[in-house]
Amino acid sequence: MASLHPILQADNVQKTFGAVRALNAVSFAVERGEIRALCGENGAGKSTLVKLLTGVHRPDSGEILVDGKPRHYRSPRDSQADGIAFVSQELSIVPHLSILDNIWLGHRGVPFLYRRQMLRRKAVEALKVVGLDTLPLNTMAGTLALGERQLLEIARMFARDARVFLLDEPTATLSDGEIIRVFDALRRLRQSGRSIIFITHRLAEVFDICDTVTVLRNGSLVTHAKVADMDREQLVELMLGRPLGQMYPSAAGSSGGTVLEIEGLRIPGHVANLTFEARAGQVVCLSGQIGSGAGEAVRAIAGLVYDVQGTVRVRGKRLPAGSVASALGANVRFVSEDRARDGIFLTLPVRTNLVATQLDQVGRAGLVSRRAISERSRAVCERVGIDPARLDSRADELSGGNQQKIAVGRSLTDQAFGVLLMNEPTRGVDVGARAEIYALMRRVCEQGYCIVMMSTDIEEVAGMADVVITLYRGQQVGCYSRPDISRSRILADITHTAAARGAA
């Protein structure tokens, strides 16, 4: 007989941190065999709710229930015993261990001599659910593609009898082909009666894979609804509390002269022969799946790849290959897809981050002026749309969208022209902040820059790009300008699918 209670439930939970109320009387439930999206801007309360459901934090009031029975978790170990599994955006796979070792690593139920036939059989069953059953169990996890590691992470939780999977941005770093494999695995989990809580900033995925959606805003519950009963615009409005308006701002009526010329760019093992140009005021997007060479090409233009061949010209002047100094001298600036690693200084104040790349503007003879730092940082704040009241805050205290604004702001100069290179410009950024980033990119173009970006988000590519260059396994496939840019055509090129091309 089916249970009358949801498998996992939060009833009227509340949580505060100091003076900040992170959750305000929120109720939430997920049924057996359901994929439920959990949506909201950064700061909406999603992470806090997940930490309550998994035992990281305890609610100040209200309760967590499993199968209708109250639970008082003291640690994540308690929630894991109830079959609740959390898969973080930062995967915990150990690359130097085998698939089998990764599946059972850290599981309390495994004896010291654990290589028993039963555990091997159970591992194979879990791998079959996620579509990795063709891989030998002794395969080193470090040899797997990113998408396969994500699937392995899900398989290890399935092998441990998880009943509820909480997935935080599971597709953020995956190619379109890998996303399809992950979605296929999630559907098989749903068919087996497992429940999935799916957290994503890519709203198209909510409509692709989820049955229901819960929306939080400012720590409060906004709605529970069936995905089939709403459209994207309604979901965005529920998340923001206001109409979004136009997500992708219109380009300027006409572009200026040629700023960047790329001819015969080659990177051994990554890019075969890439040729294109970018004009002032344009957004040019290199579109391809992970492994297509698009990201490496953008880094090469910035001078960050040393075994590159071909010609890079800025305003007609050729730049030496693999020279960061020459690129900076030509006002070519790069914004990384990994803000935490090489985009900003997370533990330093916003003020310091904004002027760190512009010390020549705030000092003389090796000495910096506090007044100049203050004036410069405030000017950059105004330019990129950061609240000046946050200048003394540490960068890691800001949302992903504001961190990305820091990364862009510190890259801009006062020169009348320039090249801004961006890899995955809105990775980890919520829907409201995405619209702000897109508007900022257009303002940068209006100042005389051209932008060359790489993105694996096809919707973003089609919405922002004035010119799209498609790549597949290092080869340039197509080049499209508005109004000939379409999602179906881009998808056909980057997946090299003849049938999709015919449909386009």
Local confidence band at 500 (pLDDT 50, 70, 90 cut-offs): very low
* Closest among 132, 144, 84, 1 to 123, alpha carbons compared: 132
pLDDT tens for 253-308 read: 667 899 999 999 999 999 999 999 999 999 999 998 878 899 999 999 999 998 99
Percentage with pLDDT > 70 across the chain: 95
Rounded Cα distance, 54 and 51, in Å: 5
pLDDT tens for 333-357 read: 999 988 777 788 889 999 999 888 8
- For the chain, report the end-to-end CA distance as a whole number of angstroms: 49
Strand partners, 311: 263
Could you give phi then psi for residue 117, rounded to 5 degrees? -60, -35
pTM of structure? 0.73
Q: What pLDDT, on a 0 to 100 scale, did the predictor assign at position 109?
A: 67
Q: Residues 336, 338, 339, 345: is their CA dihedral positive or negative?
A: negative
Find all residues with CB under 8 Å of 222, minimum gap 6, and list them: 40, 215, 216, 238, 239, 241
Q: What pLDDT, on a 0 to 100 scale, did the predictor assign at position 503?
A: 44
| Domains parsed from the chain with CATH numbers | 8-240 (3.40.50.300), 249-331+415-504 (3.40.50.300), 342-412 (no CATH)
Strand partners, 314: 260, 317
